[in-house]
């Protein structure tokens, strides 16, 4: 059975073989995705950090379990006057001079307390939940709208492209943090529809919108190139509609770009959220997030630096693991690609 040899060399036998219907079914060909997975599997470092991020994610999702069964304290429960046993001795959670207790390494106040007597470990996990939730929602918003405007601009070119590109330029012209603070504060105070006050959606939408050009522009560029390829002409002369060509011919070719962008945007979104929350334009108290925890902890740095260190380390760990995994993903999907996000 000549399967991979040049066709035509033994055409007649090949065809008769096939027509007899007894031909052995070949295994399905390896698509670009499977090939990428094979390359990724060999990259141990990327896989390890992917695992680290997954662990952080699972821990944060289990925050209510931790709060209920281990710490016996909710994320907002204050306990300024209470005591906690450290090494057999009872100790004030917050001393009379206002200094919170450090890590006890016991189930209660495992990572210490903050100046209001709240359990840092519990708040860390709940904060992580919020930070990651905002990160994922923001990434989804960025990717969806970035793809939408990028594909439309690149495919239709002309006036559509002109308008979309100018709008993206306007967003891009502002530093991300500045735009985030402006939008975050005004939405929190004024609000549009469900986007107001202290819902988590405010920072999620703000962070998502700020990063749209970072995805929209490269996608537009790639679509501009793709639409000149002959398979698009082939689809056009078969009579397919524009929507169909964009969706079923162009979109699959953007898949690897998107997969590469997801971790990059996610890491940046988490960082930007932390920055905004730190500045008070992101997650609003009493909701915890890594950013607000750092902001709260700043005041007690000299006496109890664990309040800053704990969320800080967590933030670094989460962002770094996403980035390292994302780098591995990029190398696996396209060993030659140079996709980087400008910061």
Q: 188, exposed or middle or buried, with CB in 10 Å at 0-12, 13-18, 19+?
A: buried
Identify the residue among 83, 95, 107, 241 touching another protein (CB under 8 A): 241
For position 32 contacting another protein by CB under 8 A, the verdict is yes
- Nearer residue to another protein within complex by CB, 39 or 91: 39
How far is residue 187's CA from residue 193's CA, in Å, rounded to a whole number?
A: 10
Q: Does 55 bind another protein (CB under 8 A)?
A: no
Q: Give the angle 205-185-178 at the CA atoms, nearest 5°.
A: 80
229 binds another protein (CB under 8 A): yes
Measured distance CA(310)–CA(293) in Å, rounded: 9
Q: By CB under 8 A, is residue 15 in contact with another protein?
A: yes
Q: Show the DSSP H helices in the chain as ranges.
A: 11-20, 32-42, 44-61, 63-65, 120-156, 158-173, 176-189, 201-210, 212-226, 230-237, 242-244, 251-278, 290-298, 306-333
Supply the minimum distance, in Å, between the C-beta of residue 224 and another protein. Answer: 15
Nearest distance from C-beta of residue 25 to another protein, angstroms: 6
29 binds another protein (CB under 8 A): yes
Does residue 335 interact with another protein by CB under 8 A?
Answer: no
Tokens of 62: 């289990």
Of positions 22, 24, 338, 343, contacts another protein by CB under 8 A: 24
Distance CA 139, CA 146 (A): 10
Q: Is 25 in the site for another protein (CB under 8 A)?
A: yes
Which residue of 22, 26, 90, 335 would you call a contact of another protein, by CB under 8 A? 26
* Size of site (CB under 8 A) for another protein: 38
**Cβ distance 110 to 124 under 8 Å?**
no
In the complex with another protein, which residue's Cβ is closer, 6 or 90?
Answer: 6
Interaction between residue 22 and another protein (CB under 8 A): no
The correct pick among 134, 169, 218, 240 for binding another protein (CB under 8 A) is 240
Regarding 247 and contact with another protein (CB under 8 A), the answer is no
Phi then psi for residue 51, to 5 deg, are -65, -40
User: Please, which residue, 19 or 189, has the CB nearer to another protein?
Assistant: 19
Quickly tell me which residue has 């662990």 as its tokens.
55
Rounded to whole angstroms, how far apart are CA atoms 255 and 262? Answer: 11
Q: Tell which phi-psi region holds residue 91, choosing left (phi > 0), alpha (psi between -120 and 50) or beta.
A: beta
Which residue, 165 or 289, has its beta carbon nearer to another protein? 165
CA separation for the pair 264, 268 (Å, rounded): 6
The stretch near another protein (CB under 8 A) out of 6-14, 103-111, 112-120, 298-306 is: 6-14
* Out of 91, 157, 196, 236, the residue judged to bind another protein by CB under 8 A: 236
- Phi-psi map region of 133: left, alpha, beta (phi>0 left; psi -120 to 50 alpha): alpha
Position 58 contacts another protein (CB under 8 A): no
Interface mask toward another protein for 154-193; x: CB under 8 A: ----------------------------------------
Distance CA 83, CA 95 (A): 9
Nearest to 307 by CA among 100, 162, 158: 100
Closest to another protein by CB, 88 vs 239, is 239
Q: From the CB of residue 13, how many other CB atoms can be counted at a distance below 10 Å?
A: 11
Q: Does 341 bind another protein (CB under 8 A)?
A: no
The verdict on 199 binding another protein (CB under 8 A) reads no
- Pick from 116, 160, 253, 323: which binds another protein (CB under 8 A)? 253
Give min distance, CB of 162 to another protein, in A: 10
Task: List contacts with another protein (CB under 8 A).
Answer: 1-3, 6-8, 11, 14-15, 17-19, 23-26, 28-32, 229-231, 233-241, 248-249, 252-253, 255
């Amino acid at each position: 059975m000549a399967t991979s040899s040049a066709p035509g060399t033994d055409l007649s036998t090949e065809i008769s073989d096939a027509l007899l219907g007894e031909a052995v079914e070949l295994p399905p060909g390896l698509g670009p995705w499977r090939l990428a997975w094979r390359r990724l599997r060999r990259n141990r470092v990327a896989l390890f950090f992917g695992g680290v991020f997954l662990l952080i994610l699972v821990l944060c999702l289990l925050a209510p379990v931790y709060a209920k069964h281990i710490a016996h304290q909710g994320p907002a429960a204050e306990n300024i006057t209470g005591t906690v046993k450290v090494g057999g001795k009872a100790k004030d959670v917050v001393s009379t001079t206002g200094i919170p207790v450090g890590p006890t390494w016991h189930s209660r106040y495992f990572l210490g307390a903050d100046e209001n007597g709240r359990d840092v470990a519990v708040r860390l996990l709940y904060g992580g939940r919020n930070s990651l939730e905002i990160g994922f929602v923001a990434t989804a918003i960025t990717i969806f709208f970035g793809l939408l405007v990028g594909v439309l601009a690149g495919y239709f070119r002309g006036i559509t492209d002109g308008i979309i590109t100018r709008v993206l330029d306007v967003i891009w012209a502002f530093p991300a943090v500045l735009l985030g603070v402006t939008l975050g504060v005004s939405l929190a105070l004024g609000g549009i529809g469900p986007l107001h006050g202290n819902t988590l959606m405010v920072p999620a939408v703000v962070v998502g919108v700020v990063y749209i050009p970072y995805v929209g522009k490269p996608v537009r560029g790639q679509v501009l190139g793709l639409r000149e390829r002959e398979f698009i002409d082939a689809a056009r002369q078969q009579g397919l509609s524009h929507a169909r060509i964009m969706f079923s011919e162009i979109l699959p070719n953007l898949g690897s770009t998107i997969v590469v962008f997801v971790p990059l945007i996610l890491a940046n979104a988490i960082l930007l959220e932390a920055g905004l929350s730190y500045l008070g334009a992101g997650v609003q108290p009493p909701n915890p997030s890594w950013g607000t925890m750092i902001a709260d902890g700043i005041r007690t740095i000299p006496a109890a630096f664990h309040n800053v260190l704990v969320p800080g380390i967590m933030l670094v760990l989460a962002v770094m693991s996403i980035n390292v995994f994302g780098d591995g993903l990029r190398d696996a999907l396209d060993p030659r690609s140079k996709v980087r996000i400008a910061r």
